[in-house]
């Protein structure tokens, strides 16, 4: 019985360190591959968000051009003057009638 225990102890003394070495090397291989995948995904996310922001900026620039053309248009100035002329009339019409 003691010979079998000694044999078991020798086998364990050899197998435990070997198993630990294999486990640790496999863990670091896995960690390296997942870090590389994470880096690639992060890079893709940054590129996609940059593209979306550039598209939004382009759309906003187009809107600014349209708004500038509206504001600088002579018809807009005329419409503003007409609105100013109508304001006192509409204010007087909105006043309630006073009864004596």
Checking if the pLDDT of 33 tops 70, the result is: yes
* Six token digits for residue 58: 């382009």
Question: Who has greater pLDDT, 67 or 59?
Answer: 59
Task: Please give the share of the chain, as a percent, with pLDDT higher than 70.
Answer: 83
Band the pLDDT of 70: cuts 50, 70, 90: confident
> Which among 9, 98, 25, 23 is positioned nearest to 1, based on CA atoms?
9
Checking if the pLDDT of 56 tops 50, the result is: yes
Report how far apart, in Å, the C-alpha atoms of 92 and of each of 33, 80, 81, 84 are.
78, 19, 18, 14
Tens-place pLDDT, residues 7-18: 999 999 999 999
Tens-place pLDDT, residues 75-86: 767 777 777 777
Rounded CA separation 38/31 (Å): 10
Is the separation of the CB atoms in 71 and 77 below 8 Å? no
Rounded CA separation 56/78 (Å): 33
* Six token digits for residue 39: 């880096």
Q: How far apart are the first and last CA of the chain?
A: 126
Is the separation of the CB atoms in 32 and 39 below 8 Å? no
């Amino acid at each position: 019985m003691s010979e079998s225990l000694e044999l078991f102890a020798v086998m364990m003394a050899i197998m435990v360190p070997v198993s630990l070495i294999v486990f640790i090397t496999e863990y670091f291989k896995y960690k390296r591959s997942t870090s590389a995948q994470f880096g690639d995904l992060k890079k893709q996310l940054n590129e996609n968000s940059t593209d979306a922001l550039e598209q939004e900026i382009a759309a906003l620039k187009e809107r600014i051009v349209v708004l500038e053309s509206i504001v600088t248009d002579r018809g807009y100035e005329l419409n503003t003057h007409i609105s100013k002329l109508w304001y006192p009339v509409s204010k007087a019409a909105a006043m309630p009638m006073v009864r004596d």
